[in-house]
Structure 1
Amino acid sequence: MKFYPQIEKLIKELEQDFSFISEERKTDLKLFAEKIRESIQQFKKAKVIVICTHNSRRSHLGQIWLRLAAEKYNIPMETFSGGTEATTFHPNMISALKISGFRVEEINSGENPSYQVKISEEDNNREELFSKVYSDQYNPQGNFIAVMVCTEADGGCPFVVGSVARLSLPYQDPKYADKTLHQAAAYQATLNEIGREMLFVASLV
């Protein structure tokens, strides 16, 4: 797949920054890659649900970047996201995605709108992105890898029903910068950090 030029440029920059990932963090990311390989061997395809508390920022980023990384590295993997509660896909994260070159289209409006995110002109993915609990019927109910990307969800879900593996990969929530002069930079930093690490994981699979 030929990604949009701005995304292609960002991918190259993030791959060049793999050395910025600490050795301690790489240990956790290597375990994630190992679990993806095991799922592919066992089920022919890996399924990953990225989970945070509100399914509004970090979990959606994890889902989007993992799907992109799977396309880039030709990995049979489906990606999903969810929360311990449902809110809305936060508009600040939507803005960060658009600024970074992703094409985001609103499919349904309302209090909890749904979106489709495109990574290339030939991207035929029809996955709808909206805020939901991780056990929502839209997500797989079994044989999936659960990745906890916030400490609150990690502590609140010691066991995820249906998962074949449960991993903890917490990221700082960029909402700390909402309505400040640092808002755009904080969201971009989170987008880049999650992108870098998901690409690193995929490169090991």
Structure 2
Amino acid sequence: MACRFAFHPSESPPGGGERRLPSVSWAVVKRVLILCTHNSARSQMAEGLSREAARRAGLDLDVHSAGTEATRVKDEARAVMAELGIDLSEHTSKTLHDVPDPQNFDYVITVCDSANDACPVYPGHTERRHYPFRDPSGGSLERWREVRDQMQAQFGAFVDALTAGREAPASYEASPAVSA
């Protein structure tokens, strides 16, 4: 667990003045695992979007993605994420066996129904979330962008909730126009 003081207890407050108890900011790193079937598209995009949202919010978030089986990261996922300046070029498709310390996550989020069905319970003291998104595979780049944008909104809300100390959204309902 990492904790940081806004200023060291032996120092005067910023701007001088009377010494008082320091304001404390507990910065506990949250670990998040995002699961999908192949770890080739949705979970990869969600990992990149979550990391970027956390970076922008100044939140320490350790994000990983994996699949119930590994294949390869789809070129379309890399392309639509690059449009947002998020680089997935070094990402590889992984299974749970490839994830460091797989039983020590604060949140496990499934982004497809197959992964949710395959992993209804996750070991440890883990909060489960299911955010099902339409599989963009086989679709146009516009379809990939629609799914990416939905995911950006959902994982942005997830990071915003963590940043504000609120409960993370329990579920996600895709808009009827884009759901499978």
Residue 189 of structure 1: aligned partner: 146
Q: Which residue of 143, 148, 153 maps to 2:104? A: 143
Tell me how many residue pairs correspond in the alignment.
136
- Between 195-204 and 160-169, report the one with greater CA deviation: 160-169
Matches of 1:59 and 1:163, distance apart in 2? 21
Asked if residue 159 in structure 1 is aligned to residue 144 in structure 2, the reply is no
Is 1:200 aligned to residue 157 of structure 2? Answer: yes
Q: Summarize the Cα distance change of 1:55–1:137 in structure 2 as closer, same or farther, 3 Å threshold.
A: closer
Q: Percent identity?
A: 24
Q: Counterparts of 1:103 and 1:60 in 2: how far apart (Å)?
A: 11
What are the ranges of 5 or more consecutive residues in structure 1 without an aligned counterpart? 1-40, 106-114, 116-128, 178-182
The Cα of 1:162 is off from its aligned counterpart by 4.1
Specify the code of the residue in structure 2 equivalent to 1:138: V
Query: Which amino acid in structure 2 is aligned with residue 187 of structure 1?
Result: W
CA distance in 1, matches of 2:71, 2:109: 19
Compute the TM-score of the two structures, normalised by the length of structure 1: 0.61
Tell me the CA shift for residue 62 of structure 1. Answer: 0.9
Amino acid corresponding to residue 151 of structure 2 in structure 1 = I
The structure with higher relative contact order (CA 8 Å, sep 6+) is: 1
Which has the larger helix fraction?
A: 1
Structure 1 distance, partners of 2:93, 2:104, is: 22
Query: What is the distance in 1 between the residues matched to 2:86 and 2:117?
Result: 32
1:171 corresponding residue in structure 2: 133
Query: Could you list the runs of 5+ residues in structure 2 that have no partner in the other structure?
Result: 1-25, 163-180
Alignment of 1:39-118 (within 5 A): 44-105=28-89, 115=90
d(CA) in 1 for partners of 2:29, 2:39? 24
Report runs of 4+ in structure 1 exceeding 6 Å deviation. none
Can you list the C-alpha shifts for 1:166-202, whole angstroms capped at 9, x where unaligned?
211110010141xxxxx11011111111111111222
CA contact (8 A) 2:109 2:128 kept: yes
Give the number of the structure whose alpha-carbon radius of gyration is greater.
2
In structure 2, distance between residues paired with 1:162 and 1:93: 31
Partner SS, residue 173 of structure 1: coil
TM-score for both structures, normalised by structure 2: 0.69
